[in-house]
A and B are shown apart, each in its own frame.
Chain A
Amino acid sequence: MEKGPASPEIKEKVLAYLATVEKAKSKEIAAAIGEKKADVDLAVKELAFEDKVEYLYITTTFVALKGKVGAPQ
């Protein structure tokens, strides 16, 4: 199923929100910025390819700004 490109506005909102938290799940990001979860998933995917965000596993998978969260202590 072709999903098309992500909205640049939503990508900016995702980055802005992630700057305010250590890490978040896509569902939390969607709720915080008032966008549909599917649109946020798509934005996160593109931002990961652009090396602006990364996925992290800390008991479940989170999204964070690239380099913001270090290795587990």
Chain B
Amino acid sequence: MSEKKTPQLDELEKGQWPSFVTEIRKAAAKNPAAEDLLGLLERSYEEKKGHWKHGGIVGVKGYGGGVIGRYTDLPEEYPNLAEFHTIRLNQPSGWFYTTKSLRTICDIWEKYGSGLTNLHGSTGDIILLGTTTENIQPAFDEFSDAGFDLGGSGSDLRTPSCCVGPARCEHACYDTLDACHNITNEFQDELHRPMWPYKFKIKFSGCANDCTASIARSDCSIIGTWRDTLRIDQDAVKAYVQEGLDIQGAVCDKCPTRALKFDYKKNELNVIAEECTRCMHCINVMPKAIRPGQEKGATILLGGKSTIVQSAFMAWVIVPFMKMEDDYEELKDLLRRIWEWWDENGKTRERIGETIYRLGMGKFLREVGLPPVPQMVFRPRANPYVFWQQDEINK
């Protein structure tokens, strides 16, 4: 263990919370790169300056993603960090592991890397921090033999991720786990061989609670919904009233479209089906009384991202309802058309939301073959991006 003083890092071990510094110190007992990492991090905090550069190497033989080259700009002083590459492993759907598989990952990583991990990265991958160029291929070979594959990085399809879905949640309107697994397998080329203007993320959420935060954090978010109407159990509504729930205040008044009406005399709750936006608020407050409808599927949204060329975007609805069935062929076909359009029209380092923002939603919809529909706008004339074309006007 290092005898060097690290007063800045010591502060991060105080208090009641788990500390990443404590974990790096544990790794440093066995790994010189982790020990150098403590020194470099302390120095960065002192100088208020990062000492990392990244880029270059991206994968193993035949792969164009999954490895992120990282190097310190002070290799003479921290020789064990001269190469400190990150490996991303494709996580299982819903992040369900056996303890055996977690031990396998850790054992392989202690053999070839620093032993430091980050479960999970913001896209969802298993992040393995710190290995040398020489060790990348043998580490991958061993992970591959154990049943793991690399995730995405660079200008490719990033590793798709999903919520726990029907495995643990009664709200799931489709099988997010199966959809994520199926789409990941279908688009292996897109995941491993970067071919686009920039990254593209897909996240699957089983309902509008959106536990993967897909609407803000993915280029394509697939959010479970239903096409018919809410199912309301009036006996359960009465039970909530007896328990003292303020249904008018906590449910009806907070419905974003005022689609719920509570009858005080009968203690009954009714929904105006055509006004409901399926936001899940009422179901979250009264899960024993209100359920999603029976005709379930997903809403497809496009364009969410954080700030890059343009500011952060929330995703736009492009398909209000799609059945998630038949091996997801409708979704796959749509994704291919979207990628072809983006590949043709996108500039380098431009996310698809930015390409649409630059060229217009109308052009995107026409060229990808999607009809403009009312669900794409908040209310009439609230969003002017859909126009009549000259040949559509009856003069």
Binding site for B on A (CB under 8 A): 1, 3, 25-27, 37, 41, 44-45, 48-49, 51, 54-61, 69-72
Considering the complex of A and B, which 3 residue pairs feature the smallest CB-CB distances, nearest first? Answer: A55-B64, A61-B194, A61-B154
Binding site for A on B (CB under 8 A): 53-59, 61-65, 68-69, 71, 153-156, 186, 189, 193-195, 197-198, 343-344, 348-349
The answer to whether A69 touches B56, judged by C-beta atoms less than 8 angstroms apart, is yes
User: From DSSP, what is the main secondary structure of chain A's interface residues?
Assistant: mixed
Q: Which residue of B lies closest to A49 (CB)?
A: B62
A26 to B348, alpha carbons, bound, how many Å? 11
The minimal Cβ–Cβ distance linking A47 to chain B, given in whole angstroms, is 10
A37 to B340, alpha carbons, bound, how many Å? 10
A45 to B195, alpha carbons, bound, how many Å? 10
The answer to whether B56 touches A58, judged by C-beta atoms less than 8 angstroms apart, is yes
The answer to whether A55 touches B56, judged by C-beta atoms less than 8 angstroms apart, is no
The answer to whether B349 touches A59, judged by C-beta atoms less than 8 angstroms apart, is yes
The answer to whether A57 touches B343, judged by C-beta atoms less than 8 angstroms apart, is no
A54 to B133, alpha carbons, bound, how many Å? 14
The answer to whether B59 touches A55, judged by C-beta atoms less than 8 angstroms apart, is yes
B-chain residues with CB within 8 Å of residue A72 when the two chains form the complex: 53-56, 69, 71
Q: Which residue of A lies closest to B83 (CB)?
A: A71
B-chain residues with CB within 8 Å of residue A48 when the two chains form the complex: 61-64, 193
A25 to B350, alpha carbons, bound, how many Å? 14
The minimal Cβ–Cβ distance linking A33 to chain B, given in whole angstroms, is 15
A45 to B193, alpha carbons, bound, how many Å? 7
Given contacts A57-B154, A60-B198, A71-B56, contact A49 B189 (CB under 8 A): no
The answer to whether A56 touches B56, judged by C-beta atoms less than 8 angstroms apart, is yes
The minimal Cβ–Cβ distance linking A66 to chain B, given in whole angstroms, is 10
